[in-house]
């Protein structure tokens, strides 16, 4: 046939003859003409029978998509080209192009019918077209993951792949060949060289792909190798087809949906979650390079709006990045973005933080998104990506007060169970080992019978390696990896929980989503220690930023685990490589740490920190300072040389108990004749300041209500007003978590010698208002109070606003507006009993039980009874005796008395109410507390009152068990209020 013949001349013939005959006739055509003939044939020939048929393999799936909705297909953006689509392929185009490429593959020297073809590309177009070429040709496509920058590790990986994939043909691009390190054992072919050859094998090739059976291997996907060498997961045709069908049923997807992907084809989050899922529907799909979105998360939303995307994917770290970007003022510079099209946002690869999902959902609603679109899911390469999804996020998780989102229920084609270590299925809500089974679960690791045998139970269930529970409603809740925990002094902690706390702290100098926490067992150590590595955002020579980041990380870890990290090391991005889903491999990072890969970074970091601290450290100048330094060192288990006389207690993560312990030990060490007031230590937190303060103890000092709990950070300061007991120790744990703004507490008058307690609420408000203005002369202001302190905070806010100052945050911690009835209820005996269980000297239940009997005794008799019944260890910790408890009771009772006639009046502009389980004496439950008491705040706020449910009860909401969740809620609200 003449090579210049026009394909349209053959059109009438093409409809009546087979594709095999066409290709024989066209064997002499130039590639472009051959492509046109094949394309026209596939486009015009009747596909109706094929469109109705159920595909039995991936080639038939592509054929069915080509026969489906006319014109639908794939839009691919070139790397770096985000302004417009770089390539548009209809499914007919993809079938045509890949069929022709399939014919070229048969010309490769040494290729066999069962050859594995390892595909290594760096863009969507090459990855997709050549994946389909290999599939159509009937060979086995294996998709390569991005290589590590560690040359030795890469070499080991490539040699391992040679073995496990049985000497594969490697197909790559010319510019990627150097990544293979010139290893002679590799059989590398470039697509450029293949496409320069003649296409003589397309006819038999098409038959091979078309006739593949359901149980034949469709693809090999490599695991991340986070626990050792990568394994090749065998995915079969029927498994993949069942998977995408199950996803479609579960998410109610249709041909009208439009899918957006930005993950590489080496991950099932692309291949099955998006690419094959949309192809199964003959729906539109859009592919963008990950690198083009990660630099600016808002581009993700722009692409959704531009292409009217309904279905997409983003792991938790990216959701957090989106949230941060959307919380900035005018994120789209005034442009109006319409995201009303978005229906499903799958999230997997790591646990989703409920607070992040809640905040992001609220932000997306501002751009037209309806209802709940974020769907956290569980999936693995072994289960063809997502197979269990939560379709009620975040509402379900909020109602259950969960920190991490539920993973929901199974798609058709998979079942789940949770078993004990002995293999028995456990009860609902009991933690155990997650196992899955069903037609979408893989059957074996390719060429690795040992790993396969170790991964399945005797009755054929796949052991995922995850710890989880199935709740009472049948939903899956992940609790961690079976082998991923840190055991410190016999207590088990989970790395992802510590990492989440560090991420949510938004520490200056720490790049989001690039922090890893892992255990290490030093030689001769009796327990594991905690290690942290992170990617710094500061310049390498900015030592002050390095020090601040290190101290903030140390503080958060101490709050989470009770111990300071053994090592905190800043690394480069090269040493913190991410998987396709943006995950860091803790196992690989730990191995690198323990084999000395990070040694140079550690040495350099330690040197810089030591030099800085040494330059800033001032040694004791007298015996008093030396003695206090000794107490500091012993109390906090920190070498004396690491503590200067200007080092603040609060930088060392001090707790209320440690302050009292310090007080007692300093009194003993210095043989002081007089007791040190707690406020003296809290307002003089350095050795230098405390030493001077001790010299002045005999001299009366002017009362100052302000106690600085946290001096660092650049955001708007937060002022916290004491509860009805008058003291501010309750805020110490909370302040440790908030490192981005100064935290000041206001302490009642009367605790120190010669101080007279307040006699009226106006006196308190005036005193505190003056003190706040002295610290922060102008707004905007943020102020909150705990219980009784909430009333004072509201009154102070009114005074500030009457002076035309802006108060952006008024926080009420579990107090209604009308309190005088309750204040009158609390006589001196009741106040003492309340103080007793506030100080953890007895339980709330016991205090209520003995109250009738106590009211038959005199105040001094009750005081004696409380001290006799209290745990002696707790009294010692709190340094409490008869006189101190009597004085504390006097102050607290006095505060209650001056509120006997308090009636709220006027209003503030805005308010946030944080509510916990109420006291038994004021409401029967949270609902009663909210509906009949707290809701009354509506009448005293001009703009809006927002209510935030928190964990714990009235006296425990800021306690050690609940402060972590409380601070997350508080910090989220502060962000929402623009401060």
User: CB-based contacts of 381: which residues, under 8 Å, 6+ apart?
Assistant: 221, 222, 223, 233, 235, 267, 268, 442
**C-alpha to C-alpha distance for 51 and 47, rounded to whole angstroms:** 6
Sign of the torsion formed by the C-alpha atoms of 430, 433, 439 and 440: positive
What's the sign of the alpha-carbon dihedral 228, 261, 216, 101?
Answer: negative
Whether 316 and 407 have beta carbons less than 8 Å apart is answered as: no
Plot region of 423 (φ>0 → left; ψ -120 to 50 → alpha; else → beta):
left
572-609 in b/e form (b: 16+ CB < 10 A) is eeebbbbbbbbbbbbbbbbbbbeeebbeebbeebeebb
Compute the distance between CA of residue 824 and CA of residue 973 in angstroms, rounded to an integer: 33
For helices 963-976 and 543-561, what crossing angle results, to 10°?
Answer: 130
In this structure, are residues 348 and 378 in contact, taking their beta carbons and an 8 Å threshold? yes
Where do the DSSP E strands lie in 506-620?
Answer: 510-520, 529-536, 567-570
Is the Cβ–Cβ distance between 911 and 945 less than 8 Å?
Answer: yes
CA distances from 709 to 434, 732, 782 (A): 44, 7, 15
Q: Which pair of structure tokens corresponds to residue 260?
A: 């957006």
The question of whether 420 is a catalytic residue gets the answer no
User: Alpha-carbon distance 1 to 281, whole Å?
Assistant: 39
CA distance 832 to 842: 11
Active-site residue (options: 554, 787, 892, 965)? 787
Instruction: Give dist(CA 499, CA 576) in Å, integer.
Output: 14
DSSP string, 207-260: HHHHT--TTSEEEEEE---TTSS--EEEEEHHHHHHHHHHHHHHHT--TT-EEE
| Residue 745 CA: distances (Å) to CA of 122, 731, 775 | 55, 8, 12
CA nearest to 387, candidates 438, 314, 423, 422:
438
Strands laid side by side in the 284-287 sheet: 87-90, 73-76, 284-287, 258-261, 311-313, 344-347, 374-380, 385-389, 409-410
Helix (H) or strand (E) holding 866: helix 859-869
Strand duo 908-917 + 941-953: pairing:
parallel
Task: For residues 718 and 45, give the distance between their C-alpha atoms in angstroms, rounded to a whole number.
Answer: 72
Residues comprising the chain, all counted = 979
Q: How far is CA 482 from CA 225, 413, 431, 467, in A?
A: 16, 25, 11, 5
Indicate the DSSP class of residue 201: -
**DSSP symbol at 276:** I
DSSP at 888: H
* Residues contacting 263, CB < 8 A, separation 6+: 269, 270, 274, 290, 313, 580, 581
Q: Let me know: does 763 contact 729? Beta carbons within 8 Å.
A: no
Q: 923, 911, 912, 915: which is closest to 951 by C-alpha?
A: 915
User: Which residue's structure tokens are 């702290």?
Assistant: 505
Contacts 24+ apart (CB under 8 A), 689-694: 690/628, 690/666, 691/622, 691/624, 691/625, 691/628, 691/645, 694/624, 694/666, 694/670
Measure the N-to-C terminal CA separation of the chain; round to a whole number of Å. Answer: 76
3-class SS string, 631-651: HHHHHHCCCHHHCCCCCCHHH
Catalytic residues, by residue number, are 787
């Amino acid at each position: 046939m003449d090579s210049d013949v026009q394909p349209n001349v053959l059109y009438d013939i093409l409809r009546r003859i087979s594709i095999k005959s066409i290709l024989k006739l066209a064997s002499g055509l130039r590639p472009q003409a051959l492509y046109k003939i094949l394309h026209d044939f596939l486009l015009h020939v009747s596909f109706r029978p094929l469109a109705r048929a159920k595909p039995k393999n991936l080639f038939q799936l592509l054929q069915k998509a080509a026969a489906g909705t006319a014109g639908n297909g794939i839009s691919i953006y070139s790397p770096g080209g985000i302004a417009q689509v770089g390539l548009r392929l209809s499914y007919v185009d993809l079938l045509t192009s890949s069929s022709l490429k399939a014919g070229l593959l048969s010309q490769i020297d040494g290729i066999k019918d069962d050859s594995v073809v390892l595909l290594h590309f760096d863009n969507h177009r090459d990855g997709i077209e050549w994946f389909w070429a290999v599939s159509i040709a009937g060979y086995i496509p294996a998709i390569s993951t991005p290589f590590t920058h560690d040359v030795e590790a890469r070499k080991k990986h490539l040699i391992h792949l040679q073995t496990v994939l049985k000497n594969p043909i490697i197909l790559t691009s010319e510019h990627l060949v150097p990544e293979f390190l010139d290893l002679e054992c590799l059989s590398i072919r470039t697509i450029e060289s293949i496409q320069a050859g003649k296409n003589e094998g397309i006819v038999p090739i098409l038959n091979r792909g078309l006739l593949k059976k359901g149980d034949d291997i469709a693809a090999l996907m490599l695991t991340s190798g986070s626990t050792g060498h990568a394994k090749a997961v065998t995915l079969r045709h029927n498994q993949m087809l069942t998977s995408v069908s199950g996803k479609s049923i579960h998410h109610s997807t249709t041909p009208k949906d439009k899918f957006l992907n930005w993950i590489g084809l080496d991950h099932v989050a692309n291949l099955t979650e998006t690419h094959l899922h949309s192809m199964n529907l003959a729906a539109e799909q859009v592919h963008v390079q990950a690198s083009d979105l990660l630099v600016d998360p808002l581009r993700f939303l722009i692409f959704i709006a531009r292409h009217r995307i309904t279905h997409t994917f983003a792991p938790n770290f990216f959701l957090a990045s989106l949230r941060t970007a959307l919380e900035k003022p005018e994120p789209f510079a005034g442009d109006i973005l319409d995201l009303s099209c978005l229906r499903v946002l799958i999230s997997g690869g790591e646990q989703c933080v409920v607070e992040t999902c809640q905040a992001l959902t609220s932000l997306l609603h501002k751009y037209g998104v309806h209802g709940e679109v974020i769907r956290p899911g569980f999936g693995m390469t072994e289960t063809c990506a997502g197979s269990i999804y939560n379709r009620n996020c975040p509402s379900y998780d909020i109602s259950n007060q969960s920190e991490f989102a539920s993973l929901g229920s199974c798609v058709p084609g998979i079942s789940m169970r949770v078993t004990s270590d002995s293999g028995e299925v456990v009860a609902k809500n009991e933690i155990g080992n997650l196992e899955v089974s069903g037609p979408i679960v893989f059957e074996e690791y390719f060429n690795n019978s040992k790993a396969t045998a170790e991964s399945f139970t005797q009755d054929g269930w796949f052991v995922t390696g995850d710890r989880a529970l199935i709740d009472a409603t049948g939903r899956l809740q992940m609790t961690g990896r079976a082998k991923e925990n840190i055991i410190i002094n016999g207590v088990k902690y989970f790395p992802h929980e510590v990492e989440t706390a560090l991420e949510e702290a938004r520490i200056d100098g720490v790049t989001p989503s690039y922090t890893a926490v892992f255990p290490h067992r030093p030689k001769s150590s009796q327990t594991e220690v905690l290690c942290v590595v992170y990617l710094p955002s500061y310049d390498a020579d900015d030592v002050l930023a390095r020090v601040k980041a290190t101290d903030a990380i140390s503080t958060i870890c101490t709050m989470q685990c009770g111990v300071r990290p053994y090592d905190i090391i800043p690394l480069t991005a090269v040493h913190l490589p991410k998987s396709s889903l943006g995950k860091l491999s803790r196992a690989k990072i730990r191995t690198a740490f323990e084999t000395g890969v990070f040694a140079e970074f550690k040495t350099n970091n330690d040197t810089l920190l030591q030099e800085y601290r040494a330059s800033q450290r001032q040694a004791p100048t007298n015996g008093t300072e030396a003695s206090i330094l000794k107490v500091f060192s012993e109390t906090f288990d920190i070498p004396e040389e690491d503590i200067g006389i200007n080092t603040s207690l609060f930088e060392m993560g001090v707790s209320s108990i440690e302050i009292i312990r310090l007080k007692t030990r300093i009194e003993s060490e210095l043989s002081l004749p007089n007791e040190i007031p707690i406020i003296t230590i809290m307002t003089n937190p350095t050795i230098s300041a405390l030493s001077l303060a001790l010299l002045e103890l005999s001299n009366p000092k002017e009362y100052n209500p302000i106690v600085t709990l946290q001096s660092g950070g650049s955001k708007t300061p937060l002022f916290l007003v004491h509860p009805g007991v008058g003291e501010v120790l309750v805020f110490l744990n909370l302040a440790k978590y908030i490192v981005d703004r100064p935290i000041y507490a206001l302490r009642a008058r009367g605790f120190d010698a010669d101080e007279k307690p307040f006699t009226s609420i106006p006196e308190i408000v005036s005193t505190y208002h003056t003190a706040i203005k002295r610290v922060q002369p102008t707004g905007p202001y943020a102020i909150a109070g705990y219980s009784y302190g909430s009333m004072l905070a509201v009154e102070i806010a009114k005074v500030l606003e009457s002076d035309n100052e802006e108060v952006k945050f008024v926080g009420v911690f579990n107090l209604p507006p009308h309190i005088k009835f309750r204040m009158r209820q609390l006589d001196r005996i009741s106040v003492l009993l309340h103080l007793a269980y506030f100080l953890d000297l007895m339980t709330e239940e016991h205090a209520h039980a003995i109250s009738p009997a106590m009211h038959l005794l005199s105040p001094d008799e009750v005081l004696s009874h409380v001290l006799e019944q209290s745990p002696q260890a707790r009294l010692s910790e709190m340094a409490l005796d008869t006189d101190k408890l009597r004085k504390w009771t006097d102050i607290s009772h006095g505060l209650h008395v001056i509120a006997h006639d308090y009636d709220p009046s006027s209003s503030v502009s805005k308010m946030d109410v944080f509510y916990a389980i109420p006291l038994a004496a004021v409401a029967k439950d949270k609902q009663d507390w909210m509906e009949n008491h707290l809701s009354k705040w509506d009448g005293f706020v001009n703009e809006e009152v927002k209510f935030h449910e928190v964990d714990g009860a009235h006296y425990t909401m800021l306690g050690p068990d609940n402060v972590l969740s409380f601070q997350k809620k508080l910090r989220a609200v502060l962000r929402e209020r623009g401060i």
